[in-house]
């Protein structure tokens, strides 16, 4: 019988050896435990100073190696109904959505890694939002939020920002 410590060490090894996010469902199936046990295991690993990040595609360790070389932080605002269009514009230009964050007046910065790199990733993210009746993090700030987007070139980022601006998603300071 495997102990929780052994399972956690195995989870850590899997995350370290994977170049892609690993879903909680995959881990729960692999170790024949509930999803809640995996969430607890990940929390315990984090408490031991392991840099595990939860993304829309699963868990990753040391995610800074992910994303693309050129990065830009953009300030956007829109409604829940416009979220998919905003993210699609970014992807259509060849950029990736690394994360979303808000500046909450009480809690400060709240940030969530997304790592949405393809239309398939976006489709899965939207499905999860619908399945769990999820709300945008930006709902806490009247739709105002930041995205880190990344791409292989600055020109791709310029084009994504231009198109987002044309659709009135970019907020000017």
Q: Is 86 annotated as a binding residue?
A: yes
Tokens 């410590």 sit on residue: 5
Question: In the chain, what's the furthest Cα-to-Cα distance?
Answer: 59
Task: Report DSSP state, residue 144.
Answer: E
Q: Please choose, from the candidates 93, 6, 140, 112, the residue with its C-alpha nearest in 3D space to the C-alpha of residue 54.
A: 112
Count of C-beta atoms within a 10 Å radius of residue 63: 18
Q: How far apart are the first and last CA of the chain?
A: 58
Q: Is 48 annotated as a binding residue?
A: no
Q: Is 152 annotated as a binding residue?
A: no
Contact by Cβ (8 Å): 146, 72: no
Phi-psi region of 18 (alpha: psi -120 to 50; beta: other; left: phi over 0): beta
Give CA separation, 55 vs 6, 59, 78, 167, in Å.
24, 6, 22, 27
| Residues in binding site | 78, 86, 145, 147
| Residues in binding site for Ni(2+) | 78, 86, 145, 147
């Amino acid at each position: 019988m495997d102990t929780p410590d052994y399972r956690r060490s195995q989870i850590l090894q899997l995350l370290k050896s994977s170049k892609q996010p690993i879903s909680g469902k995959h881990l729960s199936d692999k170790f024949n435990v509930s999803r809640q046990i995996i969430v607890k295991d990940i929390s315990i690993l984090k408490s031991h100073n392991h840099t595990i990040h939860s993304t829309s595609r699963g868990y990753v360790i040391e995610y800074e190696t992910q994303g693309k070389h050129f990065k830009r932080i953009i300030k956007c605002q829109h409604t829940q109904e416009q979220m998919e269009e905003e993210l699609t514009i970014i992807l259509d230009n060849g950029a990736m959505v690394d994360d979303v964050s808000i500046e909450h007046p009480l809690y400060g910065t709240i940030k969530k890694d997304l790592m949405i790199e393809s239309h398939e990733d976006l489709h899965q993210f939207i499905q999860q939002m619908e399945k769990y009746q999820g709300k945008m993090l930006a709902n806490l700030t009247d739709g105002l939020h930041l995205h880190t987007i990344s791409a292989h070139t600055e020109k791709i980022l310029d084009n994504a920002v231009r198109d987002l601006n044309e659709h009135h998603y970019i907020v000017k300071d």
